[in-house]
Amino acid sequence: MSGIQLFSPLSVRDVTLRNRIVVPPMHQYSAVKGFPTDWHLMNAGKFAAGGAGLVIVESTKVERRGCGTVGDLGIWDDKFIAPLGRLVKFIHEQNAVAGIQLGHSGRKARANRPWEGDGPLTRRPEIEDWDAWTPVAPSAIAHSEKWPVPRALGTAEVKDLVEAWGQAGRRAHEAGFDVLELHGAHGYLVHEFLSERSNQRDDAYGGSELNRMRFLIEVTEAVRKHWPAGKPLFVRLSVEDNAGWGPEQSVKLATILKGKGVDVIDCSSGGITDVAPILGKEIKYNYQVPLSDYVKHHADIMTMAVGLIIHGDQAEQILRRGQADLIAVGREILNNPNWPMDAALKLGVEGPFRNVPPQFGYWLGTRDKRGFGTRPSTWQTGLEETGKLL
């Protein structure tokens, strides 16, 4: 089958993705004092080798206070550039584009890993800088009853954080990343500034809708000063929330950000409270895709769709309907790191193994020539013809 949009290249500024499949940033909580380990090399590497067009390294923190757990990646010092560059090098060797997300956990910092109970950490002797690792936020308002009240940032501190994001952008460039994403969603620091529920400041960063947008706008400007004009800039937003922020506000913000050098809005939802608004609806395939559709057409900007996107034909339909420009496959690609190759086979793409390394693409190709590929139509045929599986 020809003309498959999922496997068509996409150029954003000077960067060309080999297909529209994106591995979104997914926390691994496995760093050691902010440094990536072999786990991160394996994790990012398997997705790049699996054929994705863009692999985005998990939310990497712009300052120490912004770490969500003891295992968060860091980029608040030049010492992180070379170790992160090792990830970039391997991703590039698999002919994929390397991205990184910059984040700050705000009032949700200093937490347990999800599989260790989630929620706030209790003091541990092995965390030497416990007192310095104090959760901060736009206002002294806790995320929920089980979370501690964060310390409200002073105006000068907010400006310092803007510069910290800018320097993190510089380090990401020096590490060799091709795409940068700013994390403005899921109840973390940037989102906390956007929501009137969590931001009750009375300075230039609080109050009116525009004032609450100011922090992210200034962060974007600071990052663009250090992030080359030829490299794409993404922003992840919780387009819909139940805390004073919704699609209309997201469109206004996306329109402003587009003028500041943002190319793609990564459209997600929820996070300011423990009750995500999307959970009040039926959870089904594409459940967040309408958010991408809305932002794309009302803000006239490229978008990335997320949310229970499982199958190749499902992703293709989203693109053909014009609901997004990129498809983020998260949990499903954890289940099958070779999802892009599997989707290419099932969609009948010519040369389905061209995006994977020859170390296994060659051998799979020889099997496919004999009619024993992974396409559903060949399974029963092969079984009937041979009486066994090869």
Per-residue tokens: 107: 């009032």
Residue-level pLDDT at 278: 58
Sequence spans of domains, the chain = 5-356
State the chain's mean pLDDT as an integer: 92
Residue-level pLDDT at 365: 84
Taking residues 103-125, report their average pLDDT: 93
Taking residues 27-49, report their average pLDDT: 97
Phi, psi of 255 (to 5 degrees): -65, -40
Distance CA 390, CA 207 (A): 66
Strands 10-12 and 15-17: antiparallel
Query: pLDDT per residue over 211-251, tens digit each?
Result: 999 999 999 999 999 999 999 999 999 999 988 899 999 99
Q: Which residues are catalytic?
A: 188
Taking residues 64-78, report their average pLDDT: 97
Window from 58-62, 297-301, 352-356 with minimum mean pLDDT = 352-356
**Where does the pLDDT of residue 373 fall: very low under 50, low under 70, confident under 90, or very high at 90 and above?**
low
The DSSP bridge partners found for residue 152 are 137
Tell the burial category of 14 from Cβ atoms under 10 Å away from its Cβ (0-12, 13-18, 19+): exposed
pTM of the model: 0.93
**Where does the pLDDT of residue 28 fall: very low under 50, low under 70, confident under 90, or very high at 90 and above?**
very high
CB atoms near residue 308 (< 10 Å): 15
Query: pLDDT per residue over 11-22, tens digit each?
Result: 999 999 999 999
Q: Which residue has the higher pLDDT, 241 or 38?
A: 38
Query: pLDDT per residue over 128-161, tens digit each?
Result: 999 999 999 999 999 999 999 999 999 999 999 9
How many angstroms separate the first and last alpha carbons of the chain? Answer: 26
Window from 48-52, 110-114, 119-123, 270-274 with minimum mean pLDDT = 270-274
The three-point CA angle 21-23-29 to 5° equals: 175
Q: Which residue has the higher pLDDT, 227 or 378?
A: 227
Q: Which residue has the tokens 């053909």?
A: 320
Distance CA 46, CA 155 (A): 43
Residue-level pLDDT at 237: 98
Per-residue tokens: 151: 């310390």
CB 304 within 8 A of CB 324: yes
* Largest CA-CA distance found in the chain, in angstroms, rounded: 75
User: Which homologous superfamily does the CATH classification assign to the domain defined by 5-356?
Assistant: Aldolase class I (3.20.20.70)
